[in-house]
Amino acid sequence: MKFFADTAEIKEIAELAEMGLLDGVTTNPSLIAKSGRDFKEVVAEICQLVEGPVSAEVIALDCAGMLAQAKDLTAIADNVAIKVPLTWEGLKACRALSDQGTMVNVTLCFNANQALLAAKAGAAFISPFIGRLDDMGIDGMEVIEEIRAIYDNYGFTTEILAASIRSANHVKFAAMAGADVATVPPSVLQGLVKHPLTDKGLEGFMADWKKTGQSL
């Protein structure tokens, strides 16, 4: 499974990239707003840190506006992926951009039918929102499984990018369900390393080593 960082915080991205854990980054207007910085400036910095796709979201609601904004965003760096909403206008923009060779991440997906349309429109990534589905009492992982089955049935190359991930279990179950990518807040990604038995074992090793009176 590929890991994308779901953040616009440069320090967090730089640390994860240095460790070789990042395959890409996803941003959105909300994340950029939290950073308090210029949108294009932040995207440019992220693109310099990460070789993989960096999703930058358009804010226009009509196809023409999306295409105009996408032109500005793709000029920032070669690895910019344009994020468009899963609306009729967004699908029109997706087709036009993908025909031009631009990576498109279709976001705000909540069911398999929407994902099928995005794949037909040439999306490079489809972003089903797991956490928000769970909030509604809908099994987000079941949606991932349905999308995986449909894409495999017809040989679609669109990658399933599990989004709105809030826990380590979300990451695990998304991987088991066949998601190609998980876009994860850095805190959740760092949390994947944690287990109480690991901590307990390390404490035991250190205590035993201290008893030897040796040093390295």
CB under 8 Å, gap of 24 or more: what pairs does 16-19 form?
16/186, 16/189, 17/49, 17/50
What pLDDT does 216 receive?
85
What pLDDT does 147 receive?
98
- Predicted confidence (pLDDT) per residue in 115-133, tens digit: 999 999 999 999 999 999 9
- CATH code of the domain covering residue 25: 3.20.20.70
For residue 139, the 8-state DSSP code is -
Look up the domain containing 189 and give its range: 2-212
34, 40, 71, 83: which one is catalytic? 83
For residue 178, the 8-state DSSP code is T
Contact 148, 178 (CB under 8 A): yes
**Token code pair at residue 175:** 């991987």
Q: How many domains does the chain have?
A: 1
**Token code pair at residue 48:** 């310099």
- Predicted confidence (pLDDT) per residue in 5-52, tens digit: 999 899 999 999 999 989 999 988 787 877 788 889 999 999 999 999
**pTM for this structure?**
0.91
What pLDDT does 43 receive?
94
71 carries an active-site annotation = no
